[in-house]
Amino acid sequence: MTQTKTFLPTGVCSRQYEITVTDGKIDNISVVGGCNGNLKGLASLLRGMEIQDAVQRMSGLRCGDKPTSCPDQIARALREMQTANSEK
């Protein structure tokens, strides 16, 4: 099953993520705003990865003195997608 979610992150420079997942694996992540090259690289590395693996690797990462980061916010979005799938 393919699922796409638009997520509005908080506390980071990026303004929006669109994440597509199929059968528990990340297909694509598009980002509006933020550090363009870094986020494109991150999205490329995550492509094909299991949601749970990505969440474990990125949860809790911080950007400078901020309490969160773009990877942490992507992990939160992925967790929301997992929760929504398990409630169905």
d(CA 17, CA 1): 20
In eight-state DSSP terms, residue 49 is -
Residue 79 has pLDDT above 80, yes or no: yes
* Of 81, 86, 83, the residue nearest 6 (C-alpha): 81
pLDDT in tens, 33-54: 999 999 999 999 999 999 999 9
* pTM of the shown model: 0.94
pLDDT at 88: 67
pLDDT at 13 > cutoff 90: yes
Give the range of the structural domain holding residue 79, as residue numbers without chain letter: 2-86
Q: Which helix (DSSP H) or strand (DSSP E) does residue 44 occupy? A: helix 36-46
Average pLDDT of every residue of the chain: 95
Which residues, including other chains, have CB under 8 Å from residue 10's CB and lie 6 or more apart? 68, 73
For the chain, how many structural domains are there in total?
1
Residue 51's CATH number: 3.30.390
Give every CB contact of residue 13 below 8 A, 6+ residues apart in sequence: 33, 34, 35, 70
